[in-house]
Amino acid sequence: MREETRSGRRKEIEDAACRLLETQGYAGASMLSVAKAVGASNETLYRWYGDKKGLFRAVAEANAETVGARLDAALAGQGDPIAALTEVGEPLLKMLTGPRAVALNRAAAADPTGELGKAIAEGGREAVLPRIVALVAAGVGAGRLDVSSAEAGADLFLRLLIGDWQVRRVIGAMEVPEQAAIAARAREAMVAFLTLCAPANDPLTI
Amino acid sequence: MREETRSGRRKEIEDAACRLLETQGYAGASMLSVAKAVGASNETLYRWYGDKKGLFRAVAEANAETVGARLDAALAGQGDPIAALTEVGEPLLKMLTGPRAVALNRAAAADPTGELGKAIAEGGREAVLPRIVALVAAGVGAGRLDVSSAEAGADLFLRLLIGDWQVRRVIGAMEVPEQAAIAARAREAMVAFLTLCAPANDPLTI
DNA sequence: AAAAATCCGTAATTTAGGTTACGCTTTTCA
DNA sequence: TGAAAAGCGTAACCTAAATTACGGATTTTT
Q: How far is B156 from chain A (nearest CA, A)?
A: 7
Nucleotide nearest to B45 (CA to C1'): C7
Q: Which residues contact B190 (CB under 8 A, 6 or more apart)?
A: B85, B86, B89, B160
The domains located in chain A, with CATH, are 61-197 (1.10.357.10)
CB contact under 8 A, A167 and B108: no
Nearest to B153 by CA among B75, B77, B205: B205
The pTM of this model reads: 0.89
Rounded to 5°, angle at Cα B109 from B107 and B113: 95
CA pair distance B24, B81, nearest whole angstrom: 40
Window 20-79 of A: residues touching B by CB (8 A cutoff) are 24-28
With contact defined as beta carbons under 8 Å apart, do A156 and A196 qualify?
Answer: yes
Q: CB-based burial of residue A32 (10 Å sphere; 0-12 exposed, 13-18 middle, 19+ buried)?
A: exposed
List, for residues A50-71, the tens digit of each pLDDT value.
999 999 999 999 998 889 898 8
Per-residue pLDDT reduced to its tens digit, B37-49: 999 999 999 999 9
CB of A35 within 7 Å of some strand D atom: yes
Give me the pLDDT at residue A200, please: 62
Buried b (16+ CB within 10 A) or exposed e, A74-101: bbeeeeebbebbbbbbbbbbbbbbeebb
Residue closest to A138 by CA, chosen among A153, A122, A118: A153
As for the ipTM of the complex, it is 0.87
| A192 interaction partners in chain B (CB closer than 8 Å) | 156, 196, 204, 206
pLDDT in tens, A165-185: 999 999 988 999 999 999 999
φ, ψ of residue A66 to 5 degrees: the values are: -65, -45
**What pLDDT score was predicted for residue A104?**
93
CB atoms within 10 A of CB B69: 11
pLDDT digits (tens, 9 = 90+) for A112-171: 888 888 888 877 788 899 999 999 999 999 999 999 899 999 999 999 999 999 999 999
Helices (H), B50-124: 52-75, 81-97, 99-110, 115-123
Q: Round to whole Å and give the CA distance between A183 and A123.
A: 22
CB contact under 8 A, B159 and A163: yes
- Beta-strand ranges (E) seen in chain A are none
pLDDT at B104: 93
Half-sphere exposure of B72 (CA within 13 A, CB side): 8
Cβ neighbours of residue A108 closer than 8 Å, sequence gap 6 or more = A60, A116, A117, A119, A120, A121, B170, B171, B172, B173
